[in-house]
Structure 1
């Protein structure tokens, strides 16, 4: 599901960091579409008087130049996907966020 960011404020809350498939950090997570390593970024997402910190996966080529914590940012191709799996006999589910790119938001 695409996410409309037109009325939201997004502030970079963490430097991009590599995403891994395993907890030990030995196997890099790869983007299926591009074949590039995925990175995670935390962003303060404010909309309609509420704010949350969200984590978004972005392929390495989509990491914009000059990203610094506290800067307003914008995502290109931001989508939410539901996921579900079973771990140790327990059903788990959630929402994963992915974008094609993240860049510093410039004044309109």
Structure 2
């Protein structure tokens, strides 16, 4: 899977949700595991504003990368933020999208 780095230098990112565990199954019994670190994966929703437009995106972050003091409404910055295109066939239908992940998330200095 190809990944592309995301430039955050001109963007404003505000934490829109508390980090929450990601699960492999719909029932929430099997935690998602980061392939690189073996750690549990968490999802964080972030308002990503750039060029006068804003969207809320979900970012996957391994548990050790969750910074201290993360609170909804604070400005945040990511380390190793990348986007990856994916596609699957689910129930006979082709599905595709973009997954966003980071190595870490921290409160932006001075926020």
Q: Partner residue of 2:81?
A: 78
Q: Partners in 1 of 2:99 and 2:18 — Cα distance?
A: 19
Q: Partners in 2 of 1:78 and 1:44 — Cα distance?
A: 14
Unaligned runs of 5+ in 1: none
State the 1:4 CA deviation.
0.2
Aligned counterpart for 2:57 among listed residues 40, 45, 54: 54
Alignment of 1:64-103 (within 5 A): 64-103=67-106
State the 1:29 CA deviation.
0.3
Q: Partners in 2 of 1:40 and 1:58 — Cα distance?
A: 6
Residue 34 (structure 2) pairs with residue 27 (structure 1):
no
Q: RMSD between aligned alpha carbons?
A: 1.0
Aligned length: 108
**CA offsets, 1:34-90, max 9 Å, x none?**
000000000000000000000000000000000000000000000000000011000
SS at match of 2:64: helix
State the 1:13 CA deviation.
0.1
Q: Partners in 2 of 1:93 and 1:103 — Cα distance?
A: 29
Q: Partners in 2 of 1:38 and 1:60 — Cα distance?
A: 6
Q: Partners in 1 of 2:29 and 2:88 — Cα distance?
A: 22
What is the TM-score when the length of structure 1 is the normalising length? 0.98
Residue 13 (structure 2) pairs with residue 10 (structure 1):
yes
What is the TM-score when the length of structure 2 is the normalising length? 0.96
State the 1:107 CA deviation.
2.9
Unaligned runs of 5+ in 2: none
